[in-house]
Amino acid sequence: MAPTKAPTSAAAAAAPPPVAAVIGAVWKMPAGRVASAGVAEKTAASSVFADRSVKSCLTIASASGAESTTRFCRSIVDFSQLLQGVTDSTMPREEGWYFLQAGKFLERAEWTARTIDVNYRLLVGANVEHGDRHALAAAADDPQPWGTLLRSLSSYESYHRIQSRGIRPTAVIELLILSAVLPRSIRFSIGKVEAALAHISEQAPGYNGSEPMPGASTESEARREVGRLHAEFAYQRLDDLLDQGLHESLLDIQRRCYRIGDRVEDEFFAHRPLTAQDVMA
């Protein structure tokens, strides 16, 4: 799988979102890795369900009109949630499962950062030229678009459970980036990626008989990159992001998610020439 180039500042909003290397790599595992992870067997039911759901979505998409467009978008959301429910309830918590979790949450972190970045610049408009703090303060007069942003990231109800003073732009940004308990936040997602890679590297060989993964090494660049980003989130405050510039902070998060995906693919899935020791073993 070819590495995806990280977005530049000018092209970040226009570039298509990357498919996290981890998810793609799971479906392109070499035969030996597929056998040890058992991905094919574990996802058989999910694949049948996915095929039926995709056909249903395409049937809706073939119709015309605003109503069919709404139904199509709703069907995509329903399909995604139902597929996740099927995998959650049927897949053993083994290596293949944790690769899927790592890929899902890595892509979620990158997509959340991209969504906040694009919508933030649309919501605050020209006020951003006077600084992020001024822009957020001015945007507080119209909370409705910020509620729409929360809904687009499936976080509207969760926001109101955590916050009791209504929708405030600063609180929305802080929740979506730095919350340790919101499943859609960037910090939460990166934490899940770190936990999944740790499980694959350290625990999987104990229950499926596979050889230790390359990421088990203390020299793993993937785990080091994820761990550093997660540690930064643990001690960051919204003021730190605003001091750096919210757009620059979000763009940096996107670039680091790209790097993490590349590191995971290189360390766990990239083909490498066999050594004499590998052949003798």
Reduced to 3 DSSP states, what percent helix, strand and coil does the chain have, rounded to the nearest 5? 75, 0, 25
Is 182 within 8 Å of 155 (Cβ atoms)? yes
Torsion 28-32-33-35 (CA) sign: positive
Is 199 within 8 Å of 209 (Cβ atoms)? no
Is 135 within 8 Å of 124 (Cβ atoms)? yes
Integer Cα distance of 192 and 117 in angstroms: 22
Integer Cα distance of 184 and 133 in angstroms: 24
Integer Cα distance of 223 and 203 in angstroms: 15
pLDDT digits (tens), the chain, 281 positions: 444 445 554 444 444 444 444 444 443 443 334 434 444 444 455 555 555 555 565 565 566 666 777 777 778 778 888 888 888 888 888 888 899 999 999 999 999 999 999 999 889 887 787 889 999 999 998 999 999 999 999 999 999 999 888 999 999 999 999 999 999 999 999 999 999 999 888 875 555 555 555 545 556 889 999 999 999 999 999 999 999 999 999 999 999 999 999 999 888 887 766 667 666 65
User: pTM of the full predicted structure?
Assistant: 0.73
